[in-house]
């Protein structure tokens, strides 16, 4: 079992930036693909970004150019740097992990999930 702990959410004005972090409790995830998803009220959970164990990165079209996913395998943390935030980015953001490769853009491609962190962008 892998427990993921997210941090870094909050309230920010449109155009601002936030950095989300996610780390596994009590283990490493060097061989894992790591993803970020988000879910706004009454909407389905949607893919934001993913990074494989070989550091290949993938982004949703809606965030491409504004978001950077990265991982530090030395301190076992994955980051989501979000810039030029818009009100439509408001959602609960979830970190997810799966060993090896997966269908990185789909929630069912992941085995482990964090509890989520709220991001609110005011206009």
What is the CB-side half-sphere exposure of residue 4 using CA atoms within 13 A? 26
pLDDT at 2 (0 to 100):
81
> Could you tell me the sign of the dihedral formed by the alpha carbons of 60, 107, 3, 10, in that order?
positive
pLDDT at 12 (0 to 100):
98
pLDDT at 27 (0 to 100):
73
pLDDT at 100 (0 to 100):
87
pLDDT at 83 (0 to 100):
98
Residue numbers of the chain with a pLDDT score lower than 70: none
């Amino acid at each position: 079992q892998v427990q993921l702990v997210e941090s870094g959410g909050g309230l920010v004005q449109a155009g601002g930036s936030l950095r989300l972090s996610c780390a596994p409790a009590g283990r490493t995830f060097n061989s894992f693909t790591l993803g970020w998803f988000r879910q706004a009220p009454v909407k389905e959970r949607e893919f934001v970004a993913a990074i494989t164990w070989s550091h290949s990165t993938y982004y949703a079209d809606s965030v491409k150019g504004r978001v950077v996913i990265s991982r530090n395998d030395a301190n076992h943390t994955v980051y989501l740097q979000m810039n030029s935030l818009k009100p439509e980015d408001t959602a609960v953001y979830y970190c997810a992990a799966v060993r090896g490769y997966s269908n990185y853009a789909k929630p069912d491609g992941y085995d482990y999930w964090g509890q989520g962190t709220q991001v609110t962008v005011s206009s």
